[in-house]
Amino acid sequence: MTYVVKGECVDCKHTTCVKVCPVDCFYEGENTLVIDPDVCIDCAICEPECPVNAIVSDRKLKPEDHHWLDFNKEMSKEWPNIRKVKDPMPSFEEAAKYTADEQWAKVSRIPFKEID
């Protein structure tokens, strides 16, 4: 059992979720975070931390959202770990207007890179 980051995180990244995870299992891509389902201990602490309700238990995932579980599993093996809260993306207010299909189409598979 694991928690999953869904499309509401895309182009948003509030990152308040990362500060509470006892096993540091959040990973950061260019425009979304994911959870490593092999490390998540299913504690549920992160779920209420997300202001846009992007985090959900896999037991409550709707059938049409199941691809997010596969995405979290896949990308958490590719992307860097994130443990520190940072400012949300400038696009976070716009991101709330995306449809589910748009969230999926917009998700990036590129890891986040700090630009000095």
- The helix/strand/coil state of 28 is strand
Q: Does residue number 75 form part of the binding site for ligand SF4 (CB under 6 A)?
A: no
Residue with tokens 């308040």: 16
* Ramachandran quadrant class, 19 (left: phi over 0; alpha: psi -120 to 50; beta: rest): alpha
Q: Quick check: 56 binds ligand F3S (CB under 6 A)?
A: no
Look-up of token digits 């959900």: 56
Q: What's the CA gap between 109 and 59, in Å, rounded?
A: 25
Partner from ligand SF4, ligand F3S, none contacting 52, C-beta within 5 to 8 A by type: ligand F3S
Establish if 79 lies at the interface with ligand SF4 (CB under 6 A).
no
**Any contact of residue 93 with ligand SF4 (CB under 6 A)?**
no
Number of residues near ligand F3S (by CB under 6 A) = 14
Q: Which residues bind ligand F3S (CB under 6 A)?
A: 5, 9, 12-17, 33, 49-50, 52, 54-55
